[in-house]
Amino acid sequence: MANIDTLYKAQFGQYGSVFTSVDGALTAPANRVFVAIQIIADATFDTNGGLIADISNPGLVFPSTLDGDGNAVYTQLYGGDAIDVNDTFLGGTTIIGRWTEIDIASGSIIAYIGV
């Protein structure tokens, strides 16, 4: 039987975290996703490929940018706006979701890894 405490922690970043303050893609480890992003200093995300939402669970929608090729990720298909480089997230903000890739254009973040 699975330990409920362990499962709960795994959903909220128990698998570690990554800090970045430079432009360049962070990719989640195999079989993992980023489950939360804590904004340390005011941050923006690249318009194409800045926040790539996990699409492995149909029906779950997470905020995202356009993908690396400039195509809509399903968040936009459900009526949400794509996040782009003009959207500033203030320091102290935490975003919860599921992303396979994160690429900031400015600022600094800590990205938490989960399942």
Confidence (pTM): 0.82
Q: What is the pLDDT of residue 55?
A: 81
List alpha helices for the chain, DSSP H. Answer: 4-11, 74-77
- Residue 73, pLDDT > 70, answer no
- Residue 66, pLDDT > 60, answer yes
Q: Which helix (H) or strand (E) holds 8?
A: helix 4-11
Encode pLDDT of 18-33 as tens digits: 999 988 889 999 999 9
Q: What is the pLDDT of residue 50?
A: 86
Q: What is the pLDDT of residue 44?
A: 95
Place of tokens 């254009």: 105
Section 65-74 average pLDDT: 70
How does residue 13 score in pLDDT terms, banded at 50, 70 and 90? low
The Cα 29–Cα 69 span in angstroms is 22
